[in-house]
């Protein structure tokens, strides 16, 4: 028997065996085996069909999965400075990941010389307003105006929670009270080494030293790594409040790995180290001990450490201290209330009581260290202050450095004080001021402690940022990993790379009195023109029915020429204006806007030929209806 015969034989035997089993089962259990076989066959077929279907489905998703990956591609961390880059002040930085946004600082800037009449400059937050549902919170590094000054204007548009240390929170609250926002604001006090989690961000507060107490940096943990934002800082091993910078935590972060460092660039051009604040206190002691004059100290209102040293030196040498300036009084009140400034009882007196003390018994702390026109010291130098009159028995100390652009104003105030006969001491003459910002060696130390993969210098003019980049290269950072950005530019970081990409709306919003944003380039241009060349008003009347010239033109000038000495010129302008008006009427120009435009253009050319000046010319037309003569 061959192999084929064996197979046929086995199949036949199996069939016979199955028939025997079938008959036996049907006989003993009355079960229709044929139906069961059919059901099993159908079930088996169905299973096979389903398996095939599942197999096909398992094969198709390759295309589907690739689509899913492109749709749900991993988000990138976006760092967007809206202020503080390539400028001094107005610091605000946005961190965005997916549907979460947090903001670091919200400061103001001061107007440039050509921003006539403008009081404050604040950041343009259009991008945040468009993404308001993503904004989770505002984190503040410290209480200086260039970091908190714009918060009231920001909260009127987006009332998000604010996270800050105790003193910073107190200063923000006092500022919000002036704007009537203190009741609705959500301010949360956070201690150094504490962490706040908002969405995809974990923000840790790290103690630093600066010219104001309770300053912090932030370690921001994100899905792509840790970002360290230093805020404003310096390295002071002997700070006034005894709270030394948390070097250990910065080093620990550097050991674990920092993806990006954003570091203060304000003092990057200065070599070496910044002096300790205690040096100023020692200098104050020398001056107070050797002077028998009344001492007036001008400093920044927010420099609480400086005010503490002035108060301490005054108390040591038996002097009373009076405060001048609304912002100075507000800040000192907050600092005393929260325990950041202390004074022996009876040392601080009301400014109205200075008359009952001899000059050698008094110290006055005032605003005006930058020569601000309306500050306490500026008004004293002009003899316009109601409470304090400067005499030759006064010693005035400028305990500050000049902010770029303010040198002329400060020099003018110093000149006026010396004309009166007062003795003046400023930074170039004695160590009455130290900076609150890190110099080159301290900036290198921060880079070495944190060991960042990427670096973006912040806070300063373009040359500061550029210099900071060179400093980072000196300590071994690759040039390609250092980003010099600008306001509105987006830095995107993922697990593998970082690059500068797009641009978002940024810029400035001008605050003039109670108006916010209603002064723009056109208004500034008009103010500039008025300040440089003055204005000419051309007033005339047209008959309502015929359009004939029935009155004027009258010429009124402001800031153009002194009329009494330039009557001939004014008469020429009047006659020329009259000729041009009549020409326009005879040419059947009836639209007032066209008459004004034509007159303005022709008169501009005429005045320039006569004077080489470009005053603003404003035609004003009044409509007159003449009564008809009686028949």
Find the angle CA(373)-CA(378)-CA(379) to the nearest 5 degrees.
100
Cβ partners under 8 Å of residue 214, min gap 6: 142, 143, 165, 166, 167, 168, 340
Whole-angstrom CA distances from 390 to 386, 420, 423, 426, 427 are 11, 7, 10, 17, 21
DSSP string, 363-408: EEEES-TT--TTSHHHHHHTT--SS----TTEEEEE-S-PPTT-HH
Q: Are 376 and 368 in contact (CB under 8 A)?
A: yes
Q: What is the CA radius of gyration of the chain?
A: 39
Could you say which DSSP state residue 105 is in?
Answer: -
What residues act catalytically? 264, 437
* Residues 280, 309 contacting (CB under 8 angstroms): yes
Two tokens at 157?
């548009």
Three-state secondary-structure class, residue 263: strand
Q: What are phi and psi of 182, to 5 degrees?
A: -65, -25
Query: How would you list the strands of the sheet with 423-425, edge to edge?
Result: 348-349, 320-324, 362-366, 294-298, 394-398, 423-425
- Cα separation, 177 vs 160, whole angstroms: 17
Q: How far is CA 444 from CA 81, 286, 623, in A?
A: 23, 34, 73
| HEC secondary structure over 306-371 | HHHHHHHHHHHCCCEEEEECHHHHHHHHHHHHHCCCCCCCCCEECHHHHHHCCHHHEEEEECCCCC
What the block records as the tokens of 229 is 């934002």
Q: Is 294 left (phi over 0), alpha (psi -120 to 50) or beta?
A: beta
Residue 134 three-state SS: helix
- How far apart CA 88 and CA 212 sit, in angstroms, is 18
Check: CB of residue 306 under 8 Å from CB of residue 280: yes
Torsion-angle region of 461 (φ positive above 0: left; ψ -120 to 50: alpha; else: beta): beta
Q: Which of 582, 613, 627, 619 is nearest to 601 (CA)?
A: 619
327 contacts 367 by C-beta, under 8 angstroms: yes
Q: Which of 606, 262, 298 lies closest to 455, judged by CA?
A: 262
CA nearest to 160, candidates 139, 190, 189:
139
CA dist., res. 614 & res. 600, Å (int): 11
Q: How far apart are CA 322 and CA 318, in angstroms?
A: 13
Number of Cβ atoms within 10 Å of the Cβ of 12: 10
- Copy the structure tokens of residue 460: 């300063």
| Backbone dihedral angles phi then psi of residue 208, each to the nearest 5 degrees | -130, 175
């Amino acid at each position: 028997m061959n192999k084929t015969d064996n197979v046929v034989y086995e199949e036949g035997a199996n069939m016979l065996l199955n028939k025997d089993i079938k008959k036996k089962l049907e006989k003993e259990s009355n079960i229709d085996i044929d139906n069961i076989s059919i059901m099993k066959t159908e079930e088996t077929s169905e299973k096979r069909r389903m398996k095939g279907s599942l197999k096909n489905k398992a094969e198709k998703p390759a295309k589907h999965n690739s689509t899913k990956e492109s749709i749900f591609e991993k988000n990138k961390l976006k760092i967007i400075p809206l202020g503080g880059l390539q400028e001094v002040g107005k610091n605000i930085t946005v961190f965005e990941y997916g549907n979460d946004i947090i903001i670091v600082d919200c400061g103001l800037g001061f107007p440039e010389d050509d921003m006539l009449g403008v009081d404050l400059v604040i950041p343009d937050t259009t991008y945040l307003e468009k993404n308001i549902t993503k904004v989770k919170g505002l984190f503040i590094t410290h209480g200086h105006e260039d970091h908190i000054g714009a918060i009231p204007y920001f909260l009127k548009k987006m009332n998000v929670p604010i996270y800050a240390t105790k003193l910073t929170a107190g200063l923000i609250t006092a500022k919000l009270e002036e704007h009537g926002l203190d009741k609705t604001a959500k301010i949360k006090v956070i201690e150094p080494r504490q962490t706040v989690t908002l969405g995809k961000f974990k923000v840790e507060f790290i103690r630093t030293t600066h010219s104001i107490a309770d300053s912090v940096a932030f370690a921001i943990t994100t899905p792509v790594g840790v970002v360290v934002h230093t805020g404003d800082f310096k390295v002071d091993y002997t700070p006034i409040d005894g709270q030394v910078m948390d070097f250990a935590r910065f080093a620990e972060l550097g050991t674990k790995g920092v993806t990006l460092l954003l570091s203060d660039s304000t003092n990057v051009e200065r070599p070496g180290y910044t002096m300790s604040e205690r040096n100023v206190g020692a200098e104050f002691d020398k001056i107070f001990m050797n002077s028998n004059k009344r001492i007036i100290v001008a400093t920044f209102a927010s420099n609480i450490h400086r005010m503490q040293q002035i108060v301490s030196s005054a108390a040591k040498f038996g002097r009373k201290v009076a405060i001048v300036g609304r912002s100075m009084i507000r800040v000192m009140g907050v600092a005393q209330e929260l325990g950041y400034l202390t004074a022996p009882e009876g040392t601080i007196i009301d400014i109205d009581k200075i008359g009952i003390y001899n000059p050698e018994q008094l110290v006055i702390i005032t605003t005006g260290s930058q020569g601000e026109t309306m500050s306490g010291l500026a008004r004293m130098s002009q003899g316009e202050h109601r409470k304090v009159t400067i005499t030759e028995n006064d010693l005035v100390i400028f305990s500050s450095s000049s902010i770029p652009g303010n040198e002329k104003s400060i020099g003018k105030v110093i000149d006026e004080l010396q004309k009166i006969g007062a003795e003046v001491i400023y930074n170039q003459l004695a160590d009455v001021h130290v900076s609150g910002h890190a110099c080159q060696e301290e900036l290198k130390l921060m880079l070495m402690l944190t060991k960042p993969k990427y670096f973006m210098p912040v806070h300063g003019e373009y040359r500061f940022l550029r210099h900071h980049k060179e400093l980072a290269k000196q300590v071994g950072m690759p040039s390609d990993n250092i980003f010099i950005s600008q306001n509105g530019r987006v830095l995107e970081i993922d697990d593998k790379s970082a690059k500068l990409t797009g641009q978002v709306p940024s810029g400035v919003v001008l605050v003039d009195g109670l108006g916010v944003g209603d002064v723009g380039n056109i208004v500034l241009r008009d103010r500039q023109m008025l300040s440089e060349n003055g204005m000419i008003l051309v007033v005339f009347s047209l008959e309502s029915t015929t359009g004939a010239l029935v009155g004027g033109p009258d010429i009124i000038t402001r800031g153009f020429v002194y009329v009494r000495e330039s009557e001939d010129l004014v008469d020429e302008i009047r006659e020329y204006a009259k000729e041009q008006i009549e020409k326009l009427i005879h040419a059947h120009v009836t639209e007032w806007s066209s008459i004004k435009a034509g007159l303005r253009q022709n008169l501009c050319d005429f005045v320039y030929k006569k004077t080489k000046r470009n005053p603003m010319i404003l035609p004003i037309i009044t409509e007159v209806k003449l009564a008809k003569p009686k028949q």
